[in-house]
Amino acid sequence: MTTNDFLQIAIYLVALLLLVKPAGSYMALVFAETPNGVLRAGRHIENLLYRLSGVRAEEQMGWRRYAIAMLVFNMAGLVVVYALQRLQQWLPLNPQHFGAVTPDSAINTAISFVSNTNWQGYAGESTMSYLTQMLGLAVQNFLSAATGIAVLVAVVRGFVRRSADSIGNFWVDMTRSTLYILLPFSLVIALLLASQGVVQNFRSYVDVPLMQHTTAVETVKDAAGNTVKDAAGKDVTRETTVTTQTLPMGPAASQIAIKQLGTNGGGFFNANSAHPYENPTPFSNFIEMLAIFLIPAGLCFTFGSMVGDRRQGWAILATMLLIFVPLALGAVAAEQAGNPALHGLAVDQQAGTLQAGGNMEGKETRFGIAASGLFTAITTAASCGAVNNMHDSLTPLGGLVPMWLMQLGEVIFGGVGSGLYGMLAFAVVAVFIAGLMVGRTPEYLGKKIEAHEMKMASLAVLVPCALVVICTAIAVATPAGTAGAANPGAHGFSEMLYAVTSASNNNGSAFGGLSANTPFWNVLLGVCMYFSRFLLAIAMLAMAGSLAAKRHVPPSAGTLPTHTPLFVTLLACVVIVVGALTFLPALALGPIAEFLMSAH
Amino acid sequence: MIRLIRSAIVMLLLLTAVTGVLYPLVATGLAQALFPSQANGSLIEKDGKPVGSALIGQSFTDPKYFWGRPSATAPQPDNAAASTGSNLGPTNPALTDAVKQRIDALRAADPENHAPVPVDLVTASGSGLDPEISPAAAAYQVPRVARVRGLSESQVRAMVSMATAGRQFGVLGEPRVNVLKLNMALDAH
């Protein structure tokens, strides 16, 4: 690794840590029980929304009612996104005249955006009308993120409230997340991105003349859509001269801002944040990386502040960094080392003052190795899934890092809200294990952890693991599954494992070579995304409901303090052990096998 | 339950209006007012007509031009309407073959140059639209372009440095050379 690689990572971490307290304490104001300046400023808009939709803002919900409101609201969103895609050819704001999306792709995309996954089987610039992008996809970028934050806040209330039968009001939590957090932050980020060259307009695509004409090569197809072969069995191709380039346009900056901030990750363009119109400069890249971690990191502080002990929040954040930093360094180091397969060729992969060197396949020149490797680790540690380089072309170990970061359950920062409530499930498991060691009833944040809480926490920890392992097995055992793999051998398996991992942890990034826009993959991944997202949320709400009903237990001499380096280490170990034990065999067949072959 | 469903639908419609209509409109209005050139695609104009974008690469194979990053877009390279990377895995033989072909093409255009080729010049970019190459990749091509155009290498090098941007704020990203701007400057010379 070069000095600059380390420097760029260090600057990022410092900038992030400087933002944690301001962002976190602001969000604590948004969810405060008592009126304050932030809530007063938006009071009128908020009350208007409640009045029009018939919501009683003062109503306090038990966990069941909270969960049902969340499910119904998200189901309504799912139906709208599906309908927009199926009807877009008759609706306005479709200057490129795109037709209806196929039913399996549309349902996959609808689940994908509602579940905060943003897995994309389609290519944005050639599939979705501006209307679908704006009213369907962009809206769910906000609302799925707001849902995640709302559930988190409800879970934290479970720890805070004593002998209570309610955990808050879903409508209020979701509306406040949207209005006070996601909207203003997004607007600032959108303008910063636009200043760097991210497009933001409603124009049709622009044709420009090419300086040097190029040749388009297309395979010839017969009337039935099959490729025509010549006598030697090769595909017959037709060459045409291309004299112009069509530049895509659209309201990209506004959508990219929330795509990063809400850890959604669904690109406006197919190449996502590798596209120069989606991420034009190293600074835009820096902003996009900060936007991914801003809310997940800030919420740790909010959590500490809500439970009345900020050290609890810093301990969780420290656990996340303890796992994140080594893995991020590992990803950059693996990519900087370059691709051994090219060593025998006349290729210069050495880093120097004139080039980044390393494995540049699938990477952009302006980002080089450090800004690409770091982005890869960030986007998979958080459940964002935006990419600024093509993960399929990462070196074997460089590709293992993002895969494993997702398999850890998306709790190392994770999705907005969902990452932290996932981590709280692990914290409950950690205090339980510590309790077993010393033979005392475990407590966390002044609440006794008993059988019901353990069941719910185990469910939250194990559901994504089970989905990954079972659904990868289904895909590998099915011809329709293996047909999608683009690369041969171990890497082909990695493509499938990565896809199921990504869907089952609501990440959304991909080893893009996999042809996943088929009925089999659309349905399989749709199931993974839906159940992972909502089973987890329901389990955590159920835990919150039972915690809220409990009395507060004052800490005693036998209570394990949960803000100490000891607990941070224990929690990190629990996360790593679960992730390693579950996935090592699968990883050995994919990236590890590929690494051993390529090092040979 | 009916009341809940009604609330969900109305709330969804209202928040759709706020986040799906109002927000992008406000963002567009502000971006167009503050950063009109950037928000409209950083177009390069000649006689009032767009002739390219400073951010979107074009494909060059003529020896008199600097060549950019290889592009995996279909059906033609640097197809801005269908951005994509190659998605070739590191151990895929197809990747090694593609790199070999690109080295051969560069060598055929400049037989005297036996230096190893900078890696970004023979590997496909992530977007397929990368507008830039590393300064090393530009330096590698200077002798060829100078010879074909009948210019001195120092003249060409001076034009390369005009099209070069360093790390942003001295630290972020990587130094890089904008290929389209460089080739336009060469043609205008």
Q: What does the pLDDT read at residue A600?
A: 62
Chain B positions touching A339 (Cβ under 8 A) are 90, 95
Q: If pLDDT is split at 50, 70 and 90, which confidence band does A221 have?
A: confident
Question: Please, what is the end-to-end C-alpha distance for chain A in angstroms?
Answer: 22
Q: How many helices (H) and strands (E) does chain B have?
A: 7, 6
Q: Following CA atoms A372, A377, A381, A383 in sequence, which dihedral angle do they give, to the nearest 10 degrees? A: 30
Residue A264's nearest CA partner among A177, A362, A387, A161 is A387
A69-87 mean pLDDT = 96
Q: What does the pLDDT read at residue A95?
A: 82
Can you tell me the distance from the alpha carbon of A444 to that of A430, in angstroms, rounded to the nearest whole number? 10
Query: 3-state DSSP call for residue A347?
Result: strand
Looking at the structure, tell me whether residues B78 and B165 fall in a common domain.
yes
The count of structural domains within chain B is 2
Instruction: Look up residue A316 and give its amino acid.
Output: I
Looking at the structure, tell me whether residues B74 and B122 fall in a common domain.
yes
Q: Best residue in B2, B10, B19, B46 to probe A by mutation, most A CBs within 10 Å?
A: B19
Looking at the structure, tell me whether residues B137 and B104 fall in a common domain.
yes
- CB nearest A191 (choices: B12, B30, B88): B30
Residue A276's nearest CA partner among B119, B157, B136, B173 is B173
- CB nearest A139 (choices: B19, B83, B168): B19
Tell me what the pLDDT averaged over chain A comes to: 94
Looking at the structure, tell me whether residues B175 and B102 fall in a common domain.
yes
Looking at the structure, tell me whether residues B22 and B92 fall in a common domain.
no
Q: What does the pLDDT read at residue A549?
A: 97
Looking at the structure, tell me whether residues B14 and B70 fall in a common domain.
no
Looking at the structure, tell me whether residues B109 and B170 fall in a common domain.
yes
Token code pair at residue A421: 């409530």
Q: Cβ B11–A171 below 8 Å, yes or no? A: yes
Can you tell me the distance from the alpha carbon of B75 to that of A239, in angstroms, rounded to the nearest whole number? 9
Residue A594's nearest CA partner among B91, B88, B94 is B91
CA–CA min distance A20, chain B (Å):
22
Can you tell me the distance from the alpha carbon of A285 to that of A312, in angstroms, rounded to the nearest whole number? 31
Reported ipTM: the value is 0.97
A454-463 mean pLDDT = 96
Cβ neighbours of B181 (radius 10 Å):
18
Can you tell me the distance from the alpha carbon of A281 to that of B108, in angstroms, rounded to the nearest whole number? 33
- CB nearest A341 (choices: B41, B91, B129): B91
Whether pLDDT at A506 is above 90: yes
B162 CB within 8 Å of a chain A CB: no
Whether pLDDT at B147 is above 80: yes
Each residue of A116-126: b (16+ CB within 10 Å) or e?
Answer: bbbbbbbbbbe
Size of chain A, expressed as the number of residues it contains: 600
Cβ atoms of residues A391 and A511 within 8 Å: yes
pLDDT digits (tens, 9 = 90+) for B63-81: 999 999 999 998 999 999 8
- CB nearest A274 (choices: B100, B126, B187): B126
Whether pLDDT at A125 is above 80: no
Cβ atoms of residues B182 and B160 within 8 Å: yes
Whether pLDDT at A233 is above 80: no
Can you tell me the distance from the alpha carbon of A524 to that of B42, in angstroms, rounded to the nearest whole number? 41
Angle between helix A183-196 and A282-306 (nearest 10): 160
Looking at the structure, tell me whether residues B35 and B47 fall in a common domain.
no
Whether pLDDT at B17 is above 90: yes
Can you tell me the distance from the alpha carbon of A458 to that of A463, in angstroms, rounded to the nearest whole number? 8
Chain A positions touching B81 (Cβ under 8 A) are 125-126, 205, 246, 248
Cβ atoms of residues A460 and A423 within 8 Å: no
CA–CA min distance B183, chain A (Å):
9
A314-336 mean pLDDT = 97
Strand (E) or helix (H) holding A26: helix A3-30
pLDDT digits (tens, 9 = 90+) for A358-417: 999 999 999 999 999 999 999 999 999 999 999 999 999 999 999 999 999 999 999 999
Looking at the structure, tell me whether residues B99 and B9 fall in a common domain.
no
A479-496 mean pLDDT = 90
Q: Cβ B6–A54 below 8 Å, yes or no? A: yes
Looking at the structure, tell me whether residues B17 and B75 fall in a common domain.
no
Looking at the structure, tell me whether residues B58 and B95 fall in a common domain.
yes
Query: In this prediction, what percent of chain A has a pLDDT beyond 90?
Result: 83
Q: If pLDDT is split at 50, 70 and 90, which confidence band does A124 have?
A: low
Whether pLDDT at A222 is above 90: no
Extended strands (E) in A260-392: 347-348
Using CB atoms and an 8 Å cut-off, which of residues 138-157 of chain B contact chain A? Answer: 139
pLDDT digits (tens, 9 = 90+) for A238-275: 899 999 999 999 999 999 999 999 999 988 899 999 99
Whether pLDDT at A226 is above 90: no
CA of A142: which chain B residue's CA is closest?
B19
Q: What does the pLDDT read at residue A228?
A: 80
Query: 3-state DSSP call for residue B117?
Result: strand
Residue B55 half-sphere exposure toward CB, CA atoms < 13 A: 26
Chain B positions touching A290 (Cβ under 8 A) are none
Full-model pTM: 0.95
- CB nearest A197 (choices: B42, B69, B184): B42
Q: What does the pLDDT read at residue A13?
A: 98
Looking at the structure, tell me whether residues B52 and B110 fall in a common domain.
yes
Running DSSP on this structure, what letter comes out for residue A285?
H
Cβ atoms of residues A114 and A140 within 8 Å: yes
Can you tell me the distance from the alpha carbon of B56 to that of A308, in angstroms, rounded to the nearest whole number? 51
Each residue of A449-480: b (16+ CB within 10 Å) or e?
Answer: beeebeebbebbbebbbebbbebbeebbeeee
Q: Cβ B84–A270 below 8 Å, yes or no? A: yes
Q: Number of CB pairs < 8 Å for A and B?
A: 401
pLDDT digits (tens, 9 = 90+) for A131-140: 898 899 989 9
B157-178 mean pLDDT = 96
Tell me what the pLDDT averaged over chain B comes to: 95
Cβ atoms of residues B129 and A272 within 8 Å: no
Domain, as residue range, for B33: 1-40
Burial category of B107 from C-beta neighbours within 10 Å (exposed 0-12, middle 13-18, buried 19 and up): middle
Running DSSP on this structure, what letter comes out for residue A142?
H
Cβ atoms of residues A357 and A242 within 8 Å: no
Q: Cβ B96–A142 below 8 Å, yes or no? A: no
In A477-559, where does DSSP find H-type helix?
479-482, 489-504, 519-549
Whether pLDDT at A441 is above 90: no
Cβ atoms of residues A547 and A159 within 8 Å: yes
Cβ atoms of residues A86 and A100 within 8 Å: yes
Q: If pLDDT is split at 50, 70 and 90, which confidence band does B189 have?
A: confident
